Structure 1
Amino acid sequence: MQLAALYRYPLKSAIGESLDRAWVDGLGIRGDRRWMLVEADSGRFLTQRVLPQMTQLLARWKAEQGVRLRAPGMPDLDVPVPAEEAPLRRVSIWKDEPSAADAGDAAAEWLSQWLGRACRLVYLPPERARQVDLKYAEPGQRVALADGFPLLLIGQASLDDLSARVGRPLEMRRFRPNLVIAGSDPYAEDGWRRIRIGELILRPVKPCTRCIITTLDPDSGERSADQEPLATLARYRKSDKGVMFGQNLLVDGQGWLEVGMPVELLE
């Protein structure tokens, strides 16, 4: 088995970046989902679930400098990482309510104009990362602004099998993984407990519950009329927790990942 692809999502629910190499630590890929859109009044997080046009929004990670926003019909906008003294905003992401740094009026106006909805852009510094659900993690294991876990892994063979069942090729981008593994059997990742890639030990701890975002065309943002691939997944991958595809990971250690690295199954 080998690492076939790496993805980073600087802004939660916006376009991902395909990477050849990435630094990974306990929070996942450096720069992954450190930024998020929230409703201007409530602070509740916004995603493609309610704003399908976010499939067209690109936030290019620029390390400590911030992000560059790009969207159809809009001029590019560089947004710096908020200063330490920037105002904090209480936001909500599922059951968590972390305090995140507001990215300022220029970003908020740019995004609100493009989306046609009053929103704010926020940034979560590493020191404010959220505790991972203690049913699956130890105290001190944290996540930035991903739904619940630092990394998401999908086997390429699993997607190939799903595409065959649906009857058309499906883009991996619909499922927004960080890591894609080639050379395994379909859904083999369901049974993994520990894998090694380079210097990192990665621990699959929970299947990923899939939602309506998977029915959005990642290029156009249009929702599939036949509700695929969610409809097919629901016929053979549904549990009492929901429709499952992919595995959420915790990370032991830190180090570089590169596409092409061998993947060793430890447990």
Structure 2
Amino acid sequence: MPILSQIYVYPVKSLAGIAVTEWPVNNNGLRFDRKWMLVDAQQQFLSQRSLPKMALIKTRIEADELILSAPGQPPLVLPLHPSGGDGVEVGIWHDRCQAKTVSSAADEWLGRFLQTDCRLVYHPDDQIRQVDQRYAQALDQTAFSDGFPFLVVSENSLNALNRLLETPVSMQRFRPNLVVADCESYAEDRWRRIKINQIDFRLPKPCSRCAVPGIDPETAVRNKEPLAALNRARRWDGKVYFGQNALHDRAGKLAVGDRVDILEAGDKQPPLS
């Protein structure tokens, strides 16, 4: 029987995530997941794709504080429940959504480490960002994720990929939210609906991968792997795929060790042998 073996929350889009043993789920996904984001002067989101050093900024949550830490800098302490700030319209790929600024002190701290002008914004609780209606239902929403509130990957999918590599890579390269153990490699390619602790999930499409898995999360150095191996083994229709995007049908709580029930399966997506 598959089980939920790892849970990751990424409070700030494209910064380091947090491994947790249990975590609440709200309308946007895992609580506080991608609630904050960095934007440039044009209000477009920033990520490791253009700023690999973002990987070196660690995040942690303590009591009512979000704490960022980076080499050579004092910690940046932010309120976990922000309020106020200036309203700003921000861009995430082709989406435009409303956000609010955090503080000039946060902008200066991040800009100094990343050596670029940027602003930290947060997703207000009263704003709804709808998920792409080609794959979602009208009530599905997310905060500042690329497009879906969850990414699901199985442990054995990573094991299968690592067998193609001279130097194995960690799951952190792929920034999943939910990792599943005790199933075959790439079993998630067939899953359409699953249930974990009374929360139903729909898996409408596979996750196409950009350059981020090629960035070492511990050093921020770009490598040709694992993208070269993915290009050989997991390429379809001009893109490479690893993991499945997922949507949830209700709020609740998830914990490591929860049973993963496969409610519906189908043909592989993408259709790889």
Q: Distance in 1 between matches of 2:21 and 2:234?
A: 31
| Offset of residue 60 of structure 1 | 2.1
Q: Secondary structure at the match of 2:261?
A: strand
Q: What percentage of aligned pairs have identical amino acids?
A: 44
TM-score normalised by L of structure 2: 0.93
Is 1:243 matched with 2:244?
A: no
| Distance in 2 of aligned mates of 1:250 and 1:62 | 28
Tell me if 1:55 matches 2:55.
yes
Farther off after superposition, 238-247 or 142-151: 238-247
CA drift at 1:25: 2.8
Distance in 1 (CA, whole Å) between partners of 2:238 and 2:130 is 21
CA-based RMSD of the aligned residues comes to: 1.3
- Find the aligned partners of 1:76 and 1:170 in 2 and give their Cα distance: 28
Q: Which amino acid aligns with 2:38?
A: L
Structure 1 or 2: more helix by fraction: 1
**What does 1:120-159 align with in structure 2 at a 5 Å threshold?**
120-159=119-158
In the alignment, structure 1 residue 165 sits paired with structure 2 residue 164: yes
SS of 1:126's partner is: coil
Amino acid at match of 1:244: Y
* Residue type of the alignment partner of 2:233: Y
The question of whether the paired residues in 2 share the 8 Å contact of 1:26 and 1:250 is answered with no
CA distance 1:251–1:241, shift in 2 (3 Å) = farther
2:268 maps to none
Return the alpha-carbon distance in structure 1 between the equivalents of residues 71 and 255 of structure 2: 31
C-alpha separation between the residues in 1 aligned to 2:257 and 2:153?
Answer: 15
Q: C-alpha offsets along residues 107-131 of structure 1, whole Å, 9 cap, x if unaligned?
A: 0111111111010000002321311
> For 1:171 and 1:82, how far apart are their aligned partners in 2?
32
Instruction: Say if 1:88 and 1:101, in contact at 8 Å, map to a contact too.
Output: yes
Aligned length: 262
Gaps of 5+ in 1: none
Q: Which structure 2 segments of 5+ residues have no match?
A: 265-273
Structure 1 residue 137: Cα displacement? 0.6
What does residue 44 of structure 1 align with?
A: 44
SS at match of 1:49: coil
Partner SS state of residue 98, structure 1: strand
Inter-partner Cα distance in structure 2 for 1:162 and 1:47: 24
Output the CA distance in 1 between the equivalents of 2:126 and 2:238. Answer: 31
Q: Is this contact kept in 2: 1:25–1:251, CA < 8 A?
A: no
User: Any conservation in 2 of the 1:150–1:249 contact (CA below 8 Å)?
Assistant: yes
Equivalent residue number for residue 260 of structure 2: 263
